[in-house]
Amino acid sequence: MSKHSLLTLVAGLSILILLPFTQSNYGVFVLCSWLVYSISAMGLNLTLGYAGQVSLAQASFMGIGAYMTALMTMAGVPWPAAMIAAMVSCFVIGFLLGYPALRVQHHFLAFITLAFNALVVLVLRNEEWLTGGTYGIVGVPRPEVFGLPTQTPLAFYFFVLALFVLMAAGLYAIIRSPWGRAFKALRENPIRANSLGVDIRQTTLLAFAIGSSYGGLAGSLLAQLTQFIDPHSFGLTISLKVLLMVIVGGAGFFFGPILGALLIVLAPEFLRFTEGYYLMIYATLVIVLMVFCPTGLLGLVERARTAMKLRQNPNATTWEAGR
Amino acid sequence: MTPVLSVRNVSKSFGGLRAVDDVSFDVHQGEILGLIGPNGSGKSTLFNCVLGQLPASTGTVLVDGKEVAGKRPCDLNKLGVGRTFQMLQVFPEMTVLDNIILAGQEHKGTMLSRLFGKPDAGLTEEALRMIDFFRLGHQTHEKAGSLSYGQQKLLDAAMAFMAGPKLVMLDEPAGGVNLTMLADLKERLKTFNQERGATFVVIEHNMEFVMSLCTRIIVLANGRIIAEGDPETVRNDPTVIEAYLGG
């Protein structure tokens, strides 16, 4: 990692540590929501942005993670075991959901994952004996970390921040590893990748499984954050919202989903003063962004930076300009 | 000595059309075999049957004496079979270096060691040597998609050689490449063959390229082998001339 990147990372982490102290309880709740959705969007970014597999089911994995954590912790299972079980279950279910991706792609795959999301919501709504049906589950406990309770918003924020950093570091390591290169190869040219020894079947399934486990953890944290869950919180609208986070921030960019989640979570807060016009303004902004910058905000930043460097040094290669 | 590639009585039919008809041949270590024939003669179908892209209707294909029927392309690659494609097949958004490292990484360690090991799978030095060998050194960190067509063809070939395969199948490597690049490519392939004993099977329409590169040539017409021998013999074979010019 370069000195510049290290300094940026330290500055970013310092802001994340200090920021909640300047916020009200509601502000800290919004920051927590942002980190939770960022974890979910990071997972989808691996599946979609890096591996090129369309998924409209991320919210269903958040739902599975949330309900598993809620039910297990309320039954007395320690929270680490519940959260690990949620992630592992989502990994396995995501792995299985990846199988259709071996046969179909693009919008067909989108419809399959969409149907899966609808199926999960139906189960959560109809199996009242387990999930509480439309009334959901109230009173999901927050964890105690090394004997310290996380009941206060600030304490829970730091718990979420620690897991966010851990998951981001994990994703960074995956993307930089040969696995990350294989995921990108799958996105760009699966036929060629296959001929070079990349096991396309395994890589596709892993992309779904890892991305889904991130969704599972995000759901687990969401249940503890809101301490109330219902099927509506994990419907298709939420899957589309997570997808929007990835696309708006920049699919295939490491920080893309984090930036996208920040915008999507914070935009309603900033546009609150517009009252009834909020959704219209929000929709217009998304349309404008997608028309002028389909690669998302970080794609726009990269394009601007490369253009500026090329203007300064017309003989530079695109790599030199892009550094 | 066991042939590197052995094609035994391979046929492939599409409905009533017999695209490849009872073809048999061997390729030995260090050979450069050219597979030529007019359009529709069955070259690409045969190529795809050998590489597992299409299942053969009958017959067997052996690599190093082992049957490879039903093997996926990634498994064939791990058995030591590299290939290039007729149409350009690189990873345009990845750098030249990453393209080359990708071509070798699946042969290094286990799946788990690739996750927890070095990001480059310890291949950077070897990849840089390969890039230099194919004279792409000045573009190591460029995105592959920004390279010219000819340079992408060189990159495609470099990727096929990165894992040190026993056999490389080249599908029209000269297609669309300008004369300077073509001479470069031919020189690189010959050097590989002489220095490392690499074995090639080449499908090509560019006769000058095939005749000057290959040590043995097989001519296909209507799915059958109509001639076989060294370039000079094949060039003067009346059946070959008739197949190309029509009778």
Per-domain boundaries in chain A: 26-292
8 Å CB contact of B102 and A176: no
What residues of chain A, 226 to 285, have a C-beta less than 8 Å from chain B? none
- Which portions of chain A are predicted below pLDDT 50? 319-323
Exposed / middle / buried, residue A316 (Cβ in 10 Å: 0-12, 13-18, 19+): middle
8 Å CB contact of B89 and A174: no
For A45-197, where are the alpha helices, taking DSSP H only? 58-74, 79-97, 106-126, 128-131, 153-176, 178-188, 190-195
CB-CB neighbors (< 8 A) of B83 in chain A: 195
Interatomic CA distance for residues B168 and A262, integer angstroms: 49
| Nearest-neighbour CA in chain B from A170: distance (Å) | 11
Q: CA distances (Å), A272 to each of A34, A141, A267, A269, A282, in order?
A: 17, 31, 8, 5, 11
Exposed / middle / buried, residue A41 (Cβ in 10 Å: 0-12, 13-18, 19+): buried
Q: Locate tokens 């067509």: which residue?
A: B149
A26-292 is classed in which CATH architecture?
A: Orthogonal Bundle (1.10)
Q: Chain centroid to CA A247: how far? A: 11
| Nearest-neighbour CA in chain A from B239: distance (Å) | 35
Residue type, A244: L
8 Å CB contact of B94 and A184: yes
8 Å CB contact of B115 and A185: no
The interface pTM score, or ipTM, of the predicted complex is 0.91
Residue B2 Rama label (left phi>0; alpha psi -120 to 50; beta)? beta
Chunked mean pLDDT (size 10), chain B, 247 residues = 93 93 95 93 91 90 91 93 90 96 95 93 96 94 93 93 92 86 89 90 91 94 94 91 73
Are B59 and B67 a contacting pair, CB within 8 Å?
Answer: no
- Map out the domains of chain B as residue ranges: 5-245
pLDDT value of position B9: 96
Interatomic CA distance for residues A68 and A93, integer angstroms: 13
A72 inside 8 A of chain B by CB: no
pLDDT value of position B178: 84
Closest residue of B to A186, CA-based?
Answer: B91
Exposed / middle / buried, residue B197 (Cβ in 10 Å: 0-12, 13-18, 19+): exposed
pLDDT value of position A323: 45
Q: CA distances (Å), A175 to each of A10, A53, A87, A203, A312, in order?
A: 21, 15, 19, 13, 31
Q: Locate tokens 């369309």: which residue?
A: A54
> Quick one: tokens of A308?
């500026």
> Quick one: tokens of A265?
């979570």
Q: What is the Cα Rg of chain B in Å?
A: 18
Closest to A87 measured CA to CA, from A204, A179, A175, A215? A215
**Domain B5-245 CATH superfamily:** P-loop containing nucleotide triphosphate hydrolases (3.40.50.300)
3-class DSSP state of A25: helix
